[in-house]
Amino acid sequence: MWTEKLEYSDGLNKTAAVIGTQAYILRKTEEQLTLIPAPFMQAEKVHLDLEKIPIWANVNQAEIKACDLDGNVIANEKQEIIGRKITVNSDGKAFMFKITR
């Protein structure tokens, strides 16, 4: 399922912005990307391909906040964007990841 602001990736779709082996929902706005494991199965490094998210084309740095079910931040990391990809460590502790410019 794709819309301009919402994307579902089942881990098999190679055209999706989410590159991982598990299922994820990606909510996209100009200021924030929200990555939600759907459902969490196993730990993995997930990559977000910004080439496939045009509203994030010129972003050079991102802040990744791992959040619990209520949206409270449980971990935080700043990341320089290399190769137009953001890397998220999905380890089962976070319900969702909020990624801002």
The rounded distance, in Å, linking the Cα atoms of 7 and 28 is 8
Answer whether residue 21 is part of any domain.
yes
What's the token pair of residue 89? 């460590």
pTM for the structure as a whole: 0.85
Instruction: State yes or no: pLDDT of 53 exceeds 90.
Output: yes
Give me the pLDDT at residue 3, please.
59
Mean pLDDT of all residues belonging to the chain: 89
The per-residue pLDDT for range 11-51, each reduced to its tens digit, is 777 668 998 888 899 999 999 999 999 876 678 999 999 99
Give me the CATH number covering residue 22.
2.60.40
Strands (E), the chain: 6-9, 18-19, 24-28, 32-37, 44-49, 61-67, 73-80, 85-90, 96-100
Distance CA 69, CA 60 (A): 28
Per the structure, the count of domains in the chain is 1
Is 1 within a domain? no
Cα–Cα distance, 15 to 10 (Å, whole number) = 11
pLDDT in tens, 74-98: 999 999 999 999 999 998 889 999 9
Residue 87 located in a structural domain: yes
Q: What percentage of the chain has pLDDT greater than the value 70? A: 92
Residue-range definition of the domain harbouring residue 43: 6-100
Q: Which residue has the tokens 């509203």?
A: 55
Does the structure show a pLDDT above 50 at 1?
Answer: no
Cα radius of gyration rounded to whole Å, the chain = 12
Whether 37 maps to a domain, the answer reads: yes
